[in-house]
Amino acid sequence: MTLVLDNYIDGRLCAPRAGRYLEVFEPASGAAYSQCPDSDRSDVAAAFAAAERAFPAWSALPATERAMHLNRIADRVEARLDEFAAAESRDTGKPVALARSLDIPRAIANLRFFAAAITQFASEAHAMGADALNYTLRQPLGVVGCISPWNLPLYLFTWKIAPALAAGNTVIAKPSEITPLTATLFAQACIDAGLPAGVLNIVHGSGPCAGQALVEHAGIKAISFTGSTRTGAAIAAVAAPKFRKLSLEMGGKNPTIVFADWEASDGNWNTLVRSAFANQGQICLCGSRLLVARSIYSAFKDEFVARVRALRVGDPLDPQSDLGAVVSRAHFDKILGHIALAREEGGTILTGGNAVTPSGRCANGWFIEPTVIDGLAAACRTNQEEIFGPVATLIPFDGDDEAVAIANATEYGLAASVWTASLKRAHRVAARLEAGIVWINCWMRRDLRTPFGGVKNSGVGREGGFDALRFFTETKNVCVDLGS
C-alpha cells in the first residue's frame, strides 16, 4: 500500500489543493513507496495566509513561552526517535544506525539549543554621556521561508526552522521532495505538542514549482536555503530586486590537508575515512580532496585505500553496513558519470569505482562502492566539480604554500581540515584557507554556538548560534534624549 503524505498548513495536515502528487522512491530498493504533495502557488498562498495570521500572537509571546513550545516538540520527536530514524533511513538510503546516532539526535538538539539561545539573546545599550541613551531592538521579521535539502533532511530542516521560530517569526518550510517523510512526521509532532496553528507550515513539492512560488512570494521577508550552488544563484536573482534577506549554504569541494607530521593513530585514520565517506559522501562538509605531503604520500595512500576497502556497502537496515545507498537514480548516474570522467582525465581508480548490487530487497537499489582516485591534476574537472558521493581523490603536495594554493584553487569555500602536530602551522594555514570553517586534527566537530557558512560559491551569510537569531531578526536602534 502506497503511503500518501500531506502538507501541514494552518495547524492541520491537508492534501495539495490541485490534487497532484510526486512519487517518492526508496533508494535501497529502487521502488516507489510513497507520494508527497506536488504543491503549487495556491498551497504556498494558503500557507502564507496562515502564517501571516499567526504572526502577531506568536511574535508577541515572551521568548520563554516560544522556547517551551520548541522543547515540547523536541520531547515528541525524542519519544519517537526510532520511528524517525527508520523513516530517515528509508527516505535517504543511509544506514539506519547513522540516522539513529546522528540525524535525529541532532535535530532534537537544534530545537533544544535555540529554545535556550533565545532566552539569552541580548540587545546592546550605549550611553552618550549623560545626555542620551541608545538601545537596540531585535524584532522578528514576519513570515520567512526555509528550504532544506535531502542529504540530512530533519537535521537541516530543524537547523533552519528552530531559530526562525525562536526569534518570533512564523515559517513556511519546503523540505526536499526526494526525502519528505520525516518532515511529515515532524508536522504530527507539532500537532501533538500543541504548536499554535499557522506558526509553522510545511509545503511539499518540487523546487521549480513549490520552491519557486515560495521564493517569489511578495510577503516573504527572508529565505534560508541549503542546497546546490546553481539553485542558490537562482534564488539570489529573484530575491535581490526585492531586497530580501538571504542565507545561502551551498556546495563544497573541501580539502583535507595531511602534513607529514600528522599523528597516524587508528582514531585519526578512522576520522579521515569517515570525513570522506560518511553518509555515502553526501554531506556538504565531506573532505573529497585529500592533499597529502609528498614525503608520506605512498605510505598514506596504501593505508587509506586498505581502510576504504574494508568499508561495507549494503542494506541500510543491516547494522553491519557502513555505507548505504545514494539518494536517487539520477544522483547514482551522476556519480558514476563523474567516475567515468576521472578515468578519461587520466585518473587511476585505486579502489571502488563500480555500482554494487546487494542481494535480497536491495537488488535494485542505488549502491556505489567507496572510490579513491589517484593521478589527477588538481585543476581537472574531477577535482573542481562537486560530486557529492562516495568519491575521494588523492593529491600530493610539497610545502605549506603549495598545499594552501591547491586547497584554495576551486570556486568553493565551505570547509577544510588540517592535520599536523604543529599548532603554529595549523593556525598559520587555517588563516590562509578560503573556507567558512576549518577543523584542525578533527572533522565534523560542531558546536551549535558557532557561526556556520561558506565563502565564494559555497554561500552567503552565517547560521548557527546568535548569528542565526540575528539573521531572523531586524535590528532597530532607539535613541532617547535624557533631557536636563
Q: Which three cell numbers stand for residue 156?
A: 537541516
| Inside any domain, residue 366 | yes
| Inside any domain, residue 483 | no
For residue 364, CA distances in Å to 215, 314, 315, 377 come to: 36, 12, 11, 35
User: Residue 363 maps to which CATH number?
Assistant: 3.40.309.10
- Tracing cell 540525524 back to the chain, one arrives at 103
298 and 245 together in one domain: no
On whether the CB atoms of residues 191 and 15 are closer than 8 A, the answer is no
| Inside any domain, residue 452 | no
For residue 230, what are the contacts with CB-CB under 8 A and spacing of at least 6?
none
| Inside any domain, residue 144 | yes
User: Strand (E) positions, 119-165?
Assistant: 125-128, 132-140, 143-147
**What is the tally of helices (H) and strands (E) in the chain?**
16, 25
| Inside any domain, residue 453 | no
The helix/strand/coil state of 223 is strand
> What is the rounded CA–CA span in Å between residue 53 and residue 340?
53
For residue 405, what are the contacts with CB-CB under 8 A and spacing of at least 6?
none
pLDDT tens column, 318-350: 999 999 999 999 999 999 999 999 999 999 999
Mean pLDDT of 462-472: 96
Neighbours of 381 (CB within 10 A): 14
207 and 325 together in one domain: no
The sign of the torsion formed by the CA atoms of 48, 52, 53, 55 equals positive
CA-based nearest residue to 76, from 169, 177, 179, 195: 195
Report the chain's terminal Cα–Cα distance, integer Å: 77
pLDDT score of 484: 64
The DSSP 8-state label assigned to residue 463 in this structure reads B
% of the chain at pLDDT higher than 90: 97
Mean pLDDT of 62-71: 98
pLDDT tens column, 36-51: 999 999 999 999 999 9
pLDDT score of 18: 97
Does residue 169 have a pLDDT over 90? yes
The helix/strand/coil state of 108 is helix
230 and 281 together in one domain: no
Cα atoms found within 13 Å of the Cα of residue 445, Cβ hemisphere only? 9
Query: What's the number of domains the chain is made of?
Result: 2
Q: How confident is the model at residue 437 (pLDDT cuts 50, 70, 90)?
A: very high
226 and 301 together in one domain: no
pLDDT score of 483: 86
Q: Which domain holds residue 357?
A: 255-447
| Inside any domain, residue 15 | yes
pLDDT score of 1: 67
pLDDT score of 459: 94
Single pTM value for the model: 0.96
CA-based nearest residue to 2, from 30, 39, 31: 31
Q: Which of 127-136, 168-177, 187-196 has the lowest mean pLDDT?
A: 127-136
Nearest 5 degrees, angle CA 102-CA 370-CA 33?
60
On whether the CB atoms of residues 23 and 177 are closer than 8 A, the answer is no
> What is the rounded CA–CA span in Å between residue 31 and residue 37?
18
| Inside any domain, residue 472 | yes
Q: How many residues does the chain have?
A: 484
On whether the CB atoms of residues 219 and 143 are closer than 8 A, the answer is yes
| H/E stretch holding 424 | helix 423-432
More confident site: 187 or 360 = 187
205 and 294 together in one domain: no
Task: Please name the amino acid found at residue 210.
Answer: A
> What is the rounded CA–CA span in Å between residue 313 and residue 181?
24
78 is catalytic: no
134 and 95 together in one domain: yes
172 and 118 together in one domain: yes
80 and 197 together in one domain: yes
pLDDT score of 2: 83
Q: Which of 358-362, 394-398, 428-432, 462-466 has the lowest mean pLDDT?
A: 358-362
pLDDT score of 359: 83
Q: What is the DSSP string of 17-47?
A: TT--EEEEEETTTTEEEEEEE---HHHHHHH
> What is the rounded CA–CA span in Å between residue 412 and residue 118?
32
pLDDT tens column, 377-423: 999 999 999 999 999 999 999 999 999 999 999 999 999 999 999 99
User: Residue 144 maps to which CATH number?
Assistant: 3.40.605.10
- Average pLDDT score over the chain: 97
405 and 341 together in one domain: yes
For residue 1, what are the contacts with CB-CB under 8 A and spacing of at least 6?
none
- Tracing cell 573541501 back to the chain, one arrives at 254
79 and 214 together in one domain: yes
On whether the CB atoms of residues 481 and 181 are closer than 8 A, the answer is no
> What is the rounded CA–CA span in Å between residue 23 and residue 16?
14
- Tracing cell 536636563 back to the chain, one arrives at 484
- Tracing cell 494558503 back to the chain, one arrives at 46
pLDDT score of 123: 86
380 is catalytic: no
239 and 325 together in one domain: no
Catalytic residue among 146, 284, 286, 362: 284
Catalytic residue among 26, 88, 177, 249: 249
More confident site: 238 or 123 = 238
On whether the CB atoms of residues 37 and 13 are closer than 8 A, the answer is no
325 and 358 together in one domain: yes
| Inside any domain, residue 260 | yes
For residue 76, what are the contacts with CB-CB under 8 A and spacing of at least 6?
189, 190, 192, 193
Cα atoms found within 13 Å of the Cα of residue 217, Cβ hemisphere only? 28
